[in-house]
Amino acid sequence: MNSVNIPELVKKGIEDVKKGKLVLIYDAEDREGETDIVMPASFMTPRKVAYFRKEAGGLICVAIHPVAAEKLGLPFISEILRNVNSNFSSLRKIVEEKGDLSYDKRSSFSLWVNHRDTFTGITDRDRALTIKKIGEAVEKVLNGNSYDFYTEFRTPGHVSILRAADGLLEDRRGQTELSVALALLAGISPVMVICEMLDRESGDALSKANAIAFASERDMAFMEGKEIIEAYQSHCSL
């Protein structure tokens, strides 16, 4: 790893996520132009779910590596809806099409789930449990073990799973792929919790300047997508 060209803030981000700390990732001006709070799923707690709710305010999602998604049987929700039978054919009309998203070709959404040991699924405790169990599922299948996702979880639920693109940053450069790439750079299980940061006053995406200030005040790593891409490409070229 020492021979890989890694920007200083990405180095800090790598060391922080190894310890389960929160980091910030800004995608790009020509994408969503949003900053997400990010952390490894294995370190999730009810207190941290509350922190995501209060300090970020967006949608709390779990981004997973495409190989893990394939092994767990987790397709894109758009694929499911495009293949519904004739009884629900009208659902095909609602699936996003080319051009619907001005900043991207498609979204990363897979299933929304609750772990079967949860009650309603929405409480901080319930969401923390579901997120940690998703993390355990990913780690198991990537280590070559079998795992029956459909007996452990149920849908619909309150935790959104995001499936990274098959080629990761070569195919797509969204928060899903950036966070999974960061996990790979850190050598940890590629299953990350991400949540968009919203401005409390306007309700819009938190500005980049305010996100940088937020990170600085809390000694968090603030990384730009282009920095993670640079580090990841350098890592893959070795």
Place of tokens 């490894």: 40
- Residues taking part in catalysis: 36, 61, 103, 114, 158, 196
What the block records as the tokens of 188 is 């940890």
Give the DSSP H/E element, type plus range, for residue 113.
strand 109-115
Look up the pTM and report it: 0.94
What is the edge-to-edge ordering of all strands in the sheet holding 109-115? Answer: 109-115, 153-163, 61-64, 191-196, 35-40, 23-26, 222-224
Q: Within 13 Å and on the Cβ side, how many CA atoms surround 1?
A: 11
Number of residues that make up the chain = 238
Rounded Cα distance between 183 and 148, Å, is 24
Per-residue pLDDT of the chain in tens (238 residues, 90 and over written 9): 555 678 888 999 999 999 999 999 999 998 999 999 999 999 999 999 999 999 999 999 999 999 999 999 999 999 999 988 888 888 888 888 877 888 888 899 999 999 999 999 999 999 999 999 999 999 999 999 999 999 999 999 999 999 999 999 988 899 999 999 999 999 999 999 999 999 999 999 999 999 999 999 999 999 999 999 999 998 887 6
Nearest to 176 by CA among 155, 161, 198: 161
Q: Please give the CATH number for the structural domain made up of 8-209+217-237.
A: 3.90.870.10
Instruction: Give backbone dihedrals phi and psi of 94, rounded to 5 degrees, phi first.
Output: -85, -10
- Cβ-proximal residues to 116 (8 Å cutoff; 6+ apart), any chain: 151, 152, 153, 154
For the chain, the structural domain boundaries read 8-209+217-237
